[in-house]
Chain A
């Protein structure tokens, strides 16, 4: 067990820090959360800056246009960009963390050449068309149908909770290509251009008041068969590749940010007198332990994947389960610190408190994560 970073890793960190210090002051002002075109512009500008500096797709394989960085370098990248206050991956999330890695792992040479470079350059934004109104946690129950018609699939159905749908160029879409097959076997993974006729996007307002995601209605949308990644009806396996990326390092930056929030909360509590409440003070102390351990668990998981050389493992489910709960506890504690101000939407942390409610639902609910941990890690029998 060695927690010291190597000389090469520290040099990488140092160069990254210097670069961040040089470029971040020149970034445009942060857009309003509900101004999607401005958000897209802001996020893709940042992606282009990363690309020009050689940091785009840092952890992607070299033959996919990435830098082939080690998991530890990727960890350093996520840690340092968060500490420096660099933009979050934002609208590029699906392209960089889901669709891109899936195309890199499962796509043909032609597909990789078509879709990967624009993601890295920030030229094209992707969204995710997985969930449906009747297929959320039970993702494989999806019903959106794709019927072969010559060189096209003709697609009808609807998708929901599709982040960035309003500004995306592409959608990684799961469709049912064989309705008679067992539900996990009749699914295919398609790249759907978002300007295709027949697509209607309707924003969905969240409980936090934001238009964070959208519903998407598909009415006989034609997508070329060559846009399918992986074999027909093999989309479930392709998707599992994607999801393992999602649960791998997706929350690293957030753990860094939560730890900083905890420090600011302590400072606030000391200045507004709430620190004298031992119950609150101890609650903040406990959160310190939780966030420290989550950081160490991240280093553990990163080291493990570096040794095995594989995609992030299902151990990510343990992390996600624990982190999503801790994040909610953090903002509950923030409300305690704020006192009467906890109901003022203009106060820091109030929106975060509301947003944190999604963490035990999105990317696999905590109940689904518990099933994964119990069945795939602990080996308990499948059942109800």
Chain B
């Protein structure tokens, strides 16, 4: 057992952080807010070229041939950077929808009765085993009603009937939940850093506010939410186990939402303004926590797993469920 990032995984993560730092810095983030979160097609293609969408496609099919653990690291970085766009759906569409793997196509997906993200600019909407595109997509978009989205980085539409487009496979839902959890994890880590930085710089009563225990404890709790969520997300990526994914989503949602709230609190009055980025993290975190596996559903799934002295995750086969050791590589 060696539950740490491999050198390759570290390199992949820092490569993505560098790339996003170069192509999606704070100015670009604020520009994206001004655009209402509309997808930057050029950036989308750059992500495609970097393998963001094709990461898990086999090399024989033009992909990178890596697994869920590596995908989770990239989505964590996307979450840190607040990168807009239907990242999860397009990643899951690689190999299914032409152009998705390369970042040529923007692909979205509907999740139950929730509003659909980026429908107006999507080239396809995932629907069951296939996708709506062309005329069918245009008819679908025309029938949908735009929503004045609470999250300025995520344009939303309400669909009149979602039956066909929400018939996703169990595996699709699990992977979407896990990748969304990874974005939440990145956001939770980012707001922790932002809170700590602000608390170290902002002075009141003649001292940095981070020297006050009341503020210090908020920051400590942020880390104490992030690190268990990180362990849960990474482990779920390795095992692919649906119950572990539910645990990861639940804890990452909580970490992202509550950390953003605490970060906002530490920023005080400035935190309540449009200029601070923290509201963008909070609004995205709220939206993501409703997506792909909400809190109630995750808790029910985790409750159903209990009883008859079940196994701890990661124990050897005599105790554990089959497949735990199979791992996802890395």
User: Interface of A with B (CB < 8 Å)?
Assistant: 1-6, 9-10, 13, 17, 72, 75, 79, 83, 255-256, 259-260, 262-267, 270, 278, 281-286, 288-290, 292-297, 299-300, 302-304, 306-307, 315, 318, 321-322, 367, 369-371, 373-375, 377-384
Contact = CB atoms under 8 A, between A and B. Distances in A.
B246 interface: yes
Nearest to A383: B211
B51 interface: no
A2 B8 CA distance: 13
A3 B310 contact: no
A75 B3 CA distance: 13
B244 interface: yes
Nearest to A378: B196
Interface-centre pick from A3, A79, A259, A306 (highest chain B CB count, 10 A): A3
Contacts of A263: 306-310
Interface residues of B, number: 69
A56 to B, nearest CB: 23
B235 interface: yes
Nearest to A5: B1
Given A293-B232, A375-B216, A380 B211 contact: yes
B299 A286 contact: yes
A292 B303 contact: no
Contacts of A259: 310, 312
Interface in B1-41: 1-6, 9
Nearest to B244: A292
Contact of A384 (B3, B196, B212): B212
Contacts of A303: 1-4
A10 B228 contact: no
Contacts of A283: 299
Contacts of A367: 213, 217
Given A299-B1, A299-B314, A322-B224, A289 B250 contact: yes
Contacts of B215: 380
B232 A3 contact: no
A3 B325 contact: yes
Contact of B213 (A264, A267, A306, A384): A384
Contacts of B272: none
A200 B234 CA distance: 52
Interface in B170-196: 192, 196
B238 interface: yes
A2 B1 contact: yes
A370 B217 contact: yes
B223 A4 contact: no
Nearest to B249: A289
Nearest to B319: A83
A380 B247 contact: no
Nearest to B310: A263
A4 B327 contact: yes
Contact of B220 (A265, A299, A373): A373
A283 B192 CA distance: 26
23 contacts: A1-B237, A2-B330, A3-B239, A3-B327, A9-B1, A266-B306, A285-B301, A289-B246, A290-B228, A290-B251, A292-B244, A292-B247, A293-B228, A294-B228, A297-B227, A367-B217, A370-B216, A374-B220, A378-B192, A378-B220, A379-B196, A382-B211, A384-B211
Given A2-B327, A72-B1, A374-B217, A296 B211 contact: no
A315 B208 CA distance: 25
Interface in B229-247: 229-232, 234-235, 237-239, 243-244, 246-247
B250 A296 contact: no
B316 interface: yes
B59 interface: no
A374 B220 CA distance: 5
Closest 7 CB pairs of A and B: A383-B211, A285-B303, A266-B306, A285-B302, A285-B299, A289-B247, A370-B220
A1 B229 contact: no
Nearest to A6: B1
A303 B305 CA distance: 27
Interface in B190-222: 192, 196, 199-200, 207-208, 210-213, 215-217, 219-221
A83 B314 CA distance: 14
Interface in B134-151: none
Nearest to B239: A3
Contacts of A304: 4
B213 A381 contact: no
A288 B303 contact: yes
B79 interface: no
Contact of B9 (A1, A10, A278, A375): A1
Contacts of B213: 367, 370-371, 383-384
B316 A321 contact: no
A315 B228 CA distance: 11
Given A285-B298, A295-B312, A322-B224, A4 B1 contact: yes
With most chain A CB atoms within 10 A of its CB, the pick from B200, B216, B239 is B216
Contacts of B305: 285, 288
Contacts of A72: 1
Given A284-B303, A307-B4, A377 B239 contact: no
B300 interface: yes
Contacts of A321: 220, 224
B129 interface: no
